[in-house]
Amino acid sequence: MNNRPTCSRCGTPIDYRTVSGLCKEHFEGSGGRSLPIPEGFAAFAEHKGWREICPVYGISRATLTIWRRETAIAQGARFAWSKDDDGYLRANYRALPVGDIAAKLNRTIASVKTRAKKLGLQGRSRPAFQPQYGFMRDRKPNVSGRVQSSADMAAAFIRAHDRTAVYRTNQDGAPNPKGDHWKYGYGSLVLTEGELIAKAERKGWQADEWKRLAA
């Protein structure tokens, strides 16, 4: 899956270092402002890596760096490995997926791999050759990105229109990239997908605008 950030207005892929969250075309009128820090960010992002944080809030790595500096939170790879952590890693590195180990130890996948390499551990083996039947394997376009549903596109529109954080959460407002509710702004407002789409439409968003642009 491609987790590269996209422009919050048009969906164009942008560099991780882009602070504004906008492509070059839409940056001109933005005044260079980065998104304000949403409520609860410090508690959610403590000891997490950028791969776990950026997709949740729809921000670039540069914006994340600013937010980390302003909230003085620790990054995921900066707290020491204990003997128990090393023991669990040695016992399970060949048996379990790296993602499962990272979740168990509350660390990033990158930090788990780095530690395993330092300890001289070998991960699960993969087959050297995977047979492909037929004359050639069919391939389909690899189209992926953060904007995937009407709610995602509505969130991107509101994020750019109001210059505020809009991201997926659980019903109680806890950040969750797979959640079916949405946190708007910096208060306690939590919206369903239908409420989010209705809010975007009141602000001028049209779900089928891409059809008009493609015509």
| pLDDT over 70 at 2, yes or no | no
Of 97, 118, 139, which one is at a domain's C-terminal end? 118
Indicate if 151 and 207 belong to the same structural domain. Answer: yes
Which pLDDT score, from 0 to 100, does residue 156 have?
Answer: 87
Indicate if 39 and 68 belong to the same structural domain. Answer: yes
DSSP assignment of 136-190: S---------S--SHHHHHHHHHHHHHTS-EEEE-TTS-B-TT-SEEEETTSS-E
Residue 172's domain comprises: 24-74+147-214
pLDDT in tens, 10-60: 777 766 555 456 666 655 555 445 567 888 888 888 777 777 888 888 787
Rounded Cα distance between 211 and 111, Å, is: 43
> 188 lies in a domain?
yes
Residue 6, SS3? strand
- State the residue for tokens 């779900």: 207
| pLDDT over 90 at 191, yes or no | yes
**Is the pTM of the predicted complex or chain greater than 0.75?**
no
| pLDDT over 90 at 95, yes or no | no
Mean pLDDT of the chain: 74
Indicate if 58 and 89 belong to the same structural domain. Answer: no
Which pLDDT score, from 0 to 100, does residue 132 have?
Answer: 41
Q: State how many domains the chain has.
A: 2
Which pLDDT score, from 0 to 100, does residue 9 have?
Answer: 63
Indicate if 188 and 107 belong to the same structural domain. Answer: no
Which pLDDT score, from 0 to 100, does residue 84 have?
Answer: 86
> 43 lies in a domain?
yes
Which pLDDT score, from 0 to 100, does residue 26 have?
Answer: 58
> What dihedral do alpha carbons 152, 155, 156, 157 form, nearest 10°?
120
The phi-psi region of residue 96 (left if phi > 0; otherwise alpha if psi is between -120 and 50; otherwise beta) is beta
- Residue 137 phi/psi, 5-degree rounding, is -90, 135
